[in-house]
Amino acid sequence: MTDLLIPGLISPSAAETRKCICHKTPGCACVLCAQMRPLEAKRLLKAVIALELAGVFGAYGLFTWMNNSRDFRSKVNTRFPRVLEAYYLSNEYAGVYGIRERDQEAWSQQD
């Protein structure tokens, strides 16, 4: 019965004989060398993909919001000037020039 293995599952005898990667001892429970089961690896991959998608959509939303609102760009300028600089550089790289100058002109007239 132990000779029949279902793909993706580890038999109890194989789990007992697995050796730790860093300590070379069977049954080691250290965090650094814990070997992942297929379901854990799949869950981790899904979590990484979800985080990547959230980051992409978040960056797109931030760019769209900055692209449509000079007031929001002013707030970003006071709180996170590096983010605004990245916005200006990405637009200049795409061939859209003059946004920085128009913003500075509008902000100087408000003061």
Domain ranges within the chain, ordered by starting residue: 1-35, 37-110
3-state secondary structure of 74: helix
> What is the per-residue pLDDT for 31?
59
What distance in Å separates the CA atoms of residue 37 and residue 95, rounded to the nearest whole number? 48
The pLDDT tens digits along the chain (111 residues) read: 444 445 555 554 554 555 555 666 666 666 555 566 777 888 999 999 999 999 999 999 999 999 999 999 999 999 999 999 999 999 999 999 999 999 999 999 986
> What pTM value is reported for the model?
0.60
